[in-house]
Amino acid sequence: MPDETKSAPKITNHTREDDDTSDFPDGGWRAWSVAFGSWCGMVPAFGLLNSIGVLEAWLAKNELKQYSEGTVGWIFSIFTFFLYATGIQIGPVFDAYGLKYILIPGCTGLVLALMLFSLCHEYYQFILAFSLLGGTTASMIITPSIACITHWFYHRRGLALGLAATAGGFGGIIFPIIIHNLIHSVGFPWAIRIIGFIAAAFGIVCCLLLRTRLPPKKADAIMDLKALTEPRFAMLSVAITLIDLGLLIPLTYLPSYALDHDMDPSLAYQLSSILNGASILGRALPGYFADKYGRLNVVLITAFFCAVFTLGLWLPIQSNTAGIVAYTVLYGFWSGSAISLPPVCIAQLCETEDYGKRYGTTYSLVSIGALVAVPIAGAILQSQDGDYWGVILFCGLAYVVSFVLFCLVRGMSSGWGVMHKF
């Protein structure tokens, strides 16, 4: 077996944009306006991802009530799959051509997807409009939004990405509230159309403010499967896949869980907003501490507390309304950095020029995990005759395994000392 200290890539704390870190503005009006443009783009894109619990609960009990939870869950799993998988393809296009072929079509397409979603009645229509078109176009917004921040920030990249990632929490607050408050007055279709108009407004601001700084580069390979033969990178990729898999289950099933445990519907439909409200702080603060104390250190702490609260609080609470709300708040805070920080962690295990390929490799696995997470949870729920303990256990164990893998990667990379920054 080769000596890993010789064969492993150099550990770095940056991505591939530029080795001369002194050129990065790391602040100023222009850089922060780009960060705000990124935030505006991610409000509708990630906001929809963070609202799938309300959408699933409504569709499963109304338009698609003749289908099982697992079958309805495929709509949102396919959406998440395309959100991640399309980003792998879009990254090289962004590198080669910048924003011009990606951002405006993405913003326009997402609004169109929501308008078509509001007209759906049949199962296949929801798949085509929301899952395929919505997931693909959301990715066309998210990928350049994140990439542009890396053009303008280096030392404060974790903070900038963390602040931009609060957009998903903001969207995940306002969209469920809009659906809940309007669904009985104007109906579900018009509630979705209003969200579409909001997405259009945020998309316009995003297109006006988002700018690249670095010149286009020749498109690189989108994946490097050989990288998975490196133990540390393979474990990191699986850990990120599992933490994302765990994230999707509460996002999707908390409102349905609450309704099935006799919670007042007006409160049950607000759980997604409560979770996302807590996650806003959980997205911003970890970004600051990640830059200060180590990105992987913060992510493994996130996985640990998500496991603790899922298995120690959600699993035993049953019909306790206060307990469900408490779990929603605590889990929402600690899960906040599960989306924003893992891409930065990938950069710590590769050379600058290899980041794009490594990112594509990891998120190929993540997209597969996202595709099967909700249907597996739905199948478990159906096999337990509607009892959620199996789903909660599945979610909690995903976090436990991801925590163990993050710890192993950290230990193999920087040593086993508690105070080591990595």
Residue 422 forms part of a structural domain:
no
Q: Please, which residues have CB within 8 angstroms of residue 330's CB and are 6 or more apart in sequence?
A: 278, 305, 309, 313
CB atoms within 10 A of CB 389: 14
Is residue 406 domain-resident? yes
CA 57 centroid distance within chain: 20
With respect to residue 277, please indicate whether it lies within any of the assigned structural domains.
yes
Mean pLDDT of the chain: 85
Q: What digits encode the pLDDT tens for the residues 338-385? A: 777 887 788 788 765 566 677 778 888 898 998 888 889 988 988 888
Asked if the model's pLDDT at residue 11 lies above 60, the reply is: no
Identify whether 419 is part of a domain.
Answer: no
pLDDT in tens, 271-306: 888 998 888 888 777 777 877 788 888 899 999 999
Q: Are 378 and 69 in contact (CB under 8 A)?
A: yes
Q: Structural domain tally of the chain?
A: 1
188-209 vs 29-49: helix crossing angle, rounded to 10: 160
Question: What are the strands, taking DSSP E only, across 95-238?
Answer: none
pLDDT digits (tens, 9 = 90+) for 122-172: 999 999 999 999 999 999 998 888 888 888 887 787 788 878 888 988 999
Question: Which CATH number covers residue 171?
Answer: 1.20.1250.20
Is there a domain that residue 421 lies in? no
Burial 141-154 (b: 16+ CB within 10 A, else e): bbbbbbbbbbbbbb
Range(s) of the domain holding residue 97: 4-414
72-111 exposure pattern, b = at least 16 Cβ within 10 A, e = fewer: bbbbbbbbbbbbbbbbbebbbbbbeebbeebbbebbebbb
Burial of 29 (0-12, 13-18, 19+ CB in 10 A): exposed
pLDDT level of residue 24 (50, 70, 90 thresholds): confident
- Report pLDDT digits (tens) over 40-69: 999 999 999 989 888 988 998 889 999 988
Q: Is residue 207 part of a domain?
A: yes
